[in-house]
Amino acid sequence: MMSVYLAPKNADLAATSSASRALLLWSQVAIKQRYLSRLDGLTRWPYCQQSVIWLPHCRRIHSFGMRAPLDIIALDKQRRIVAVVRHLAVRQLQQFPRTARSNLTGRVDSLIECIAGQPWPLSAWLGRRLLFQAPLAAKHTDSNAELARQGVDVKYEA
């Protein structure tokens, strides 16, 4: 499992590599990279406020087969919040165009899918950076290498 933190305000990239001063948003984050696993989305995931799914390199999301509405957080390549869609109804499609730009940040590169009703003021955090941190890893593995390539902070046991 991975965790997601909100970086301190006005922090630069070098200063935000550690989540020590950041606010923990979600403690159970699953990464869905393959097409078939993305189709399931949250349908096979526990319905709780701490469980979210991160969809890297994704700009379109659907809520077909869902039992509850979704909150969608769109991120750019630097993992800054570009857009927030609250309460995407069941059986709906939400697409973020490839060329769409926010006034604050860049193009949509990835999405976070979570159950609607998140307690965080996500819309107020447009432009703020999110930090993804994997738990301590016992050794270097292919999956850890893939996380590192995506910019996830992977910590290793001594």
pLDDT (tens digit, 9 = 90+) per residue, 21-77? 789 998 888 888 776 666 665 555 555 667 888 998 889 888 888 888 999 999 998
pTM: 0.76
Architecture of the 2-156 domain: Sandwich (2.60)
Domain boundaries, the chain: 2-156
Give the type of residue at 51. S
The string of DSSP codes covering 20-71 is: TTSEEEEEEEEE--SHHHHHHGGGGS--STTEEEEEET--EEE-TT-SS-EE
